[in-house]
Structure 1
Amino acid sequence: MPQTSRLNSEMTSRSRGQWAGLSAAVLFGCSAPLISTLTTTGSPLTLAGLLYGGAALMLCPLQLLKARQSQETPVQRGDWGGLVMLTLLGGVVGPLALVNGLTLLSPASSSLMLNLETVFTLLIAVLIGREHIGSRGVIAAALTISGALILSEGSLDGSTWQGGAWITLATLAWGIDNTISQRLSLRNPLQIAAIKSLGATVPMLGLAFAMHERFPSPAAMAFLLLIGALGYGLSIWLDLVALRNLGAAREAVLFAAAPFIGALFSVIVLQVQLTVAITLASLLMLIGMLVLLGEEHTHSHRHALQRHNHRHRHDPQAGSLHHNHDHPLEWLPENANQEPFWHAHDHVHDEQEHEHPHVSDAHHRHQH
């Protein structure tokens, strides 16, 4: 089993994660400026509830349709604590803070402020999640924070500062959400995204009805549901795939493209004025993202004995760097000796030491 073929398989997994992360960033990046045009149509609670309602309307039926043919590991009993936490932070606190912030900032500025999510995700992933990011990560974080400060335009009071505070709260909630989601991403990403969407929708809309909050017009509601289906539902699902394959820190680098896409969308589609502050902040944040994208991390590392349950690939021709375990014959498809196949089950990784390019996924959270 040639080492080159095994490395190619690992690179394919990384590429899948990169495309998923970039697609999630595009969808979410375009959603923020569109939401900002609807902030006056209803209360923040109803708008946030409708956005996740659109996500639930898309993901829940899709999960039911794919449940029988899914090769993924479903959510386990021990996962529910993390699911509740990420639903509360990412599905309730984050969207509510975002909608409040969007009412006080221009679409382009608020889009760029969302890049703080990258900084928070990096810090939490490295300091708490034991992921590794070198000097490039520190430089990128500094550049992103500098860009966010420029967007405040020196104001310490008034709408700009308050809007920035709301966006900061939203991005902090999503930064914590990303780290929790990365730990759960070995489970079925579609199922997790559907549970999160439904779990955020029901309490927010239920509370909005109970408190007699102002709801948008039917046309605006339909538009919010559509934005939620794509910019939240599909984006969350793709982002979980990226978190699984890349780790939270590097996923944050790719998702940093969302604010640039949002700002560009605002200028081109919504005809927002391109200011000096937006231009300079965009330049700093773009440089920060490019610094991290150029990172290549490889060294000799040791894998401790590990047992877990997730979807993984077996290739009889190329083998695998991490999944070379045996199976009962009844678990294997008929052509298992000739063709690659995917499946999910509880399995053990034996202790081993090797060297190859890697990211901080579930198999590479070692000391440096």
Structure 2
Amino acid sequence: MPDHTHSHMWPGVPLALASAILFGASAPFAKLLLDSTDPQLLAGLLYLGAGVGLSAVHAGRAVLGIVAPEAPLRRSDLPWLAVVVLFGGVAGPLFLMLGLSQTSASSGSLLLNLEGLATMGIAWLVFRENVDQRLLLGAAAILAGAVVLSWQGQGVRFDRGALLIAAACLAWGIDNNLTRKLSSADPVLISLIKGLAAGSVNLALGLARGADLPSIGTISAAAIVGFLGVGVSLVLFVLALRHLGAARTGAYFSLAPFIGAVVALVLLHEPVTAQLVVAGLLMGIGLWFHLAERHDHEHEHEAMEHEHSHVHDEHHQHVDDGPATEPHSHWHRHEPMRHKHVHYPDLHHRHGHRHS
């Protein structure tokens, strides 16, 4: 029987919003650390903090005998993982740190909304993920907020800091869409590999340029910010991708800049300007459009086989070999079926759409 016990928003939307809160709050703290740290070194330290922290979590699971009900990474996943590390772990954080060093933390935080637009645009135009009118209206409002934020005197001017942050958002937009291809695998393993690999590259490049390592206290602070704002946030983001798809996860992740801007105003005592308020309102309207979406139509599932963490719900009616606890992960087959319910483009709803 169909299982509609939980809202269609559960657990994808809470996962995406929690990821956004952690990442958004990390930007102002990173801005503080830039006062005593080279931008490229800080990008490396943040991701190494994420990788080391998640490695401890992964090792702790093994020591305690906690079996994560997740699918393993396969050889066919490695090329995608390498590109994800390059765009999302090396280029994105480096551009962000360079951009934050040349603009205010509150403005930089709000400009991170462009990541959601980049993610949605790539998902829609390149990967043909369904995007409806509400998502487009929300995207337009967010873009308008970014324009207001960049308005200087007689027109829009993206200074060097803003352009670098926009480049970071584009890199993460590519990263988010490619990470979707890995989202059925263990998110802790994906995130720790990304953190260790990307962090090592940026740290090595920064040291090769002659940058000096900061104090132990600064390194420790960067590790904590990286573990929470990058590592844990990324684990939650990968899980959200599994349930929502790239466009909608990016849309909900648009909450991150508001969190960052508010933390920056309190933490760094930056001024509250009319420009900032108007931009925040426009971006808030955009987020509301995203939250108000309801995608419901009759759709058909083709036969497919894959592996991921699951429970025996309406999409998983197969028989297991022997008793099994839920959730669990194993290779399983989906038989063709046709039904109607509210859904997102998750692992089981990546069908096409016909529009009249």
Q: So what's the TM-score if we normalise by structure 1?
A: 0.91
Secondary structure in 1 matching 2:232 = helix
CA 1:33–1:324: 2 relative to 1, 3 Å: same
Q: Which residue of 1 aligns with 2:174?
A: 176
1:30 aligns with 2:25: yes
Q: Which residue of 2 aligns with 1:336?
A: none
Specify which of 7, 17, 24 is matched with residue 4 of structure 2: 7
Residue 130 of structure 1 contacts residue 365 of structure 1 at CA under 8 Å; is this kept in 2? no
Query: 1:70 & 1:138 partners in 2: Cα distance?
Result: 37
The answer for the alignment partner of 1:327 in structure 2 is 320
Aligned residues: 350
TM-superposed deviation, 1:130: 2.5
Q: Offset of 1:156 from its aligned partner? A: 9.7
* Runs (5+) with no aligned partner, structure 2: none
Contact 2:150–2:157 (8 Å) recurs in 1: no
* Correspondence 1:66 to 2:64: no
What residue identity is the alignment partner of 1:346?
A: W
CA 1:147 to 1:58, structure 2 compared with 1: closer, same or farther past 3 Å?
same
- List per-residue Cα deviations over 1:101-141 (Å, max 9, x = no partner): 00111111000000000101111111222321211111111
* Alpha-carbon distance between aligned partners in 2 of 1:100 and 1:328, rounded to the nearest angstrom: 53
The correspondence for 2:112, drawn from 89, 109, 114, is: 114
> What's the counterpart of residue 38 of structure 2?
43
What percentage of aligned pairs have identical amino acids? 39
In 2, distance between residues paired with 1:164 and 1:29? 17
Q: Where in structure 2 are the equivalents of 1:91-110 lying within 5 Å?
A: 91-110=89-108
* CA-to-aligned-CA distance 1:37-57 (integer Å, 9 cap, x gap): 222322221110011111112
Q: Distance in 1 between matches of 2:12 and 2:206?
A: 36
CA shift, 1:157, in A, is: 11
Alignment of 1:51-200 (within 5 A): 51-67=46-62, 69-154=67-152, 161-200=159-198
**RMSD value, Cα:** 1.9
Greater Cα shift, 195-204 or 124-133:
124-133
Task: Using the TM superposition, give the Cα deviation of residue 158 of structure 1 relative to its aligned residue in structure 2, in angstroms.
Answer: 12
Change beyond 3 A, Cα 1:157–1:211: farther
Q: For residue 301 of structure 1, give the secondary structure of its aligned residue in structure 2.
A: strand
Aligned 8 A contact 2:45 2:199 in 1: yes
CA contact (8 A) 2:117 2:251 kept: no
Q: Look up the match of 2:12.
A: 17
Q: Is this contact kept in 2: 1:22–1:255, CA < 8 A?
A: yes
Aligned to 1:246: 244
Q: Distance in 2 between matches of 1:328 and 1:158?
A: 62
Q: Which runs of 5+ in 1 are unaligned?
A: 315-319, 334-339
1:342 partnered with 2:327: yes
